[in-house]
Structure 1
């Protein structure tokens, strides 16, 4: 089913805000401007701006307009854990910290369902913001036999689920875990944080149609950069 028009407009503006295209302080279109741009009524335009404000993405000021807020990014946790949704990223660059083929016993976090001596492609990447501060760390582990040419890809920008689909790999299910952990010294150094800092780790396990593991991935965000929330419709219609 096609999403309601107000939601499509809201999601477009939200994506531009989260990607940095509309940085903090940017003035958004007025209700009248939204009406003219999208051919919508006043109530629909009001709803778009009201919901962006409810999500903490903008601030509305009487007579001045609506402006993108300062502060940490906010992310709907339901969207964050859905592998089918490709969300906008923090502006900045990726860095491949390491990429190699190693035994499964050598990777972090440990991979369930693989023998210790199974060859795996192990990828560690960092994300930097526009000021070159490390903001995120990613670990990805893929059985070497499943994707033997993985290291030949553009690893700076590779996204595993679309890669699997493009290669015809029959992935079937994906499960997300959220773990509160304390950073060890090596991981803290990569994120620019002190050892023992508490962080939220997202882990994703993806399986093939035959039940074998396709990928184990983990993501760590530097604390203070993102607020997670859950937003769901409670309307009766």
Structure 2
């Protein structure tokens, strides 16, 4: 973008960051915005396209269309094993979920390996849409050994599974290994998450173990790229044990090729 469009982008970003326009509020039509910022509609479209890619605005067409302020990003901290409701609440969001399906199922080979199961074992299979302030942020597919958690499907599954396991099965997560990659949304995934087909999603594949190192959960979660950022705190050589240091932030952008990040998280955090 040129100098004029860069200036217009900075002005729009400043207006949004001022806090006067809450997430979801309408900025205006292309014609109204072009007149307000004194720029041609073709130049404005370039600016809006860049802002939409960054997640700062959303554009809708039709009679009720226009440009709307985007929602803030949810931060997914990989420093501990914490349930979705807990980290959403810590960031000021109202957590919610919609249960898509629950069943006792035969695990595929990948799940068998992750949970150290045999071909004759079964898993509790739970699929949900996670919500932040009523808006979809992720698709969650969790599988747990059925023999270890009898009656789990009869319990309320709208909140944190980790809390249920702590309350009814005396289990606390001790370690989680997570693999992270950027993928593109299928039409079905896009429809459920409220994004466009092929939009950037963050796939987190997680194997969670108890304090004895026994795996009890294998989960594949898809997070909206425009609503999610990853926080990682990693100590370096020579950092004192009592030194406080800030974590790195990983932002997701739309990509065609995927990169995978593998890491292990160890935590005794019981706030799940």
- TM-score range for the pair, normalised by the shorter chain length: 0.5 to 0.7
Per the alignment, residue 45 of structure 1 pairs with none
* 1:225–1:213 distance in 2 versus 1, CA, 3 Å: same
- Report the equivalent of 1:93: 96
Q: State how 1:1-237 maps to structure 2 within 5 Å.
A: 71-73=71-73, 75=75, 79-84=77-82, 86-89=86-89, 90-91=93-94, 93-105=96-108, 112=114, 113-130=116-133, 132-157=134-159, 159-166=160-167, 167-169=169-171, 171-208=173-210, 211-230=213-232, 233-234=244-245
CA distance in 2 between counterparts of 1:25 and 1:110 reads: 51
**How far 1:197 sits from its partner (Å)?**
2.6
Alpha-carbon distance change, 110 to 99 in structure 1, aligned in 2, over 3 angstroms = same
Structure with bigger RCO (C-alpha 8 Å, 6+ apart): 2
Q: Is the 8 A contact 2:206 2:220 kept in 1?
A: yes
Q: Secondary structure at the match of 1:189?
A: helix
Cα gap change, 1:211 to 1:127, in 2 (>3 Å): closer
Alpha-carbon offset, residue 188 of structure 1: 2.8
- Partner Cα separation in structure 2 for residue 93 and residue 152 of structure 1: 19
RMSD over aligned Cα, in angstroms? 3.4
Distance 2:74 2:98 in 1: 24
Q: What displacement does 1:83 show?
A: 0.7
Q: Helix, strand or coil for the counterpart of 1:201? A: strand
Contact 1:94–1:156 (Cα < 8 Å) also in 2: yes
Q: Which runs of 5+ in 2 are unaligned?
A: 1-18, 22-69, 235-243, 247-272
Runs (4 or more) in structure 1 with deviation over 4 Å come to 229-232
Q: Give yes or no for contact 2:162–2:172 (8 Å, CA) kept in 1.
A: no
TM-score (norm 2): 0.50
- Judged with a 3 Å threshold, the aligned counterparts in structure 2 of structure 1 residues 172 and 93 are, in CA distance, closer, same or farther, namely closer
- The Cα shift of 1:222 comes to 1.8
Residue by residue over 1:130-186, the C-alpha shift from the partner in whole angstroms, topping out at 9 and shown as x without a partner, is 4x54322111101100101111111111x2323222212375432222222223343
2 CA distance for matches of 1:190 and 1:181? 16
Cα distance in 1 for residues equivalent to 2:72 and 2:204: 18
Q: TM-score if structure 1 supplies the norm length?
A: 0.56
Q: Partner of 2:179: helix, strand, or coil?
A: strand
Looking at structure 2, the residues matched to 111 and 121 of structure 1 have their Cα atoms a distance apart, in angstroms, of 16
Tell me the number of residue pairs that the alignment of Structure 1 and Structure 2 aligns: 165
Q: Secondary structure at the match of 1:88?
A: helix
